[in-house]
Amino acid sequence: MAREFAVPAFVYWLGAPFLLARLAAQRRSGVFKSLERSILDSLIQSSHEPLASALQSQISEINHALRLTTKSSEVNFYKIVGIRPDASRKQPLPVDDGDTVVGEVVGKVDQTIVRAKIFAVNSRLFSIEFNCDARPIINRADLEISTVDVLGKRVFGA
């Protein structure tokens, strides 16, 4: 191991207690924020079977979310067992393996147009990527949905 790497690796382990505390707090307060829940619900309602039931099943298994905002926001969902992510799901999504866009939801909160893409990785629901900084509106449940695309096809809205 290179000498310059030894110091940062040591610093990394200092973060472990903070990460475990954050995980415990999140499990108590619930994984999904209101906006995320609205987007996923609209996707489920617009989906056909067996995709809708598979989404519902996987959402119930998710117990951790990682939220990142740089220029835009991204929310990644995980099923954590112990302290490690678990790849097993009761019901895999009926989509291709690899990186897949399950759906796209476009809506409006106040004057902000929200475009959210929902991604799956290896038939597992994985992330929502927003076109904007979602932090100011993440707790808003009043998303006015204008269009919903599922697996590349428009199923709701003009």
Partner 1 sequence: MQTLGNYAKHEDQTEATIIRSESNWSVKHHEGTPPDGGAVGVLGKGRKGWEYSHAIPVRLLKRVNVNSWFGRTAVNGTYVPRWFHALSDQYRFRFMPRIWKESLPFLLPQGIQQAARVPPAWIVAGAGATLDSTGGRSNGP
The residue within the footprint of partner 1, chosen from 104, 106, 109, 119 (CB under 8 A), is 119
Answer yes or no whether residue 121 interacts with partner 1 by CB under 8 A.
yes
Answer yes or no whether residue 90 interacts with partner 1 by CB under 8 A.
no
What's the min distance (Å) between Cβ of 138 and partner 1? 17
Q: Phi, psi at residue 89, to the nearest 5°?
A: -135, 145
Q: Is the dihedral of CA 92, 93, 94, 95 positive or negative?
A: negative
Q: Phi, psi at residue 66, to the nearest 5°?
A: -115, 115
**31 to 11, 26, 59, 77: CA distances (angstroms):** 28, 6, 10, 9
Answer yes or no whether residue 66 interacts with partner 1 by CB under 8 A.
yes
Answer yes or no whether residue 7 interacts with partner 1 by CB under 8 A.
yes
CA angle 24, 25, 29 (to 5 degrees): 120
Answer yes or no whether residue 126 interacts with partner 1 by CB under 8 A.
yes
Specify the residue, 20 or 141, whose C-beta has the smaller distance to partner 1. Answer: 20
What's the min distance (Å) between Cβ of 128 and partner 1? 12
Specify the residue, 45 or 72, whose C-beta has the smaller distance to partner 1. Answer: 72
Stretch that binds partner 1, among 27-35, 46-54, 76-84, 139-147 (CB under 8 A): 76-84
Residues across the chain: 158
The encoded tokens of residue 19 equal: 């990460």
Answer yes or no whether residue 117 interacts with partner 1 by CB under 8 A.
no
Specify the residue, 5 or 111, whose C-beta has the smaller distance to partner 1. Answer: 5
The encoded tokens of residue 132 equal: 């904007």
Q: Are 120 and 102 in contact (CB under 8 A)?
A: yes
Answer yes or no whether residue 96 interacts with partner 1 by CB under 8 A.
no
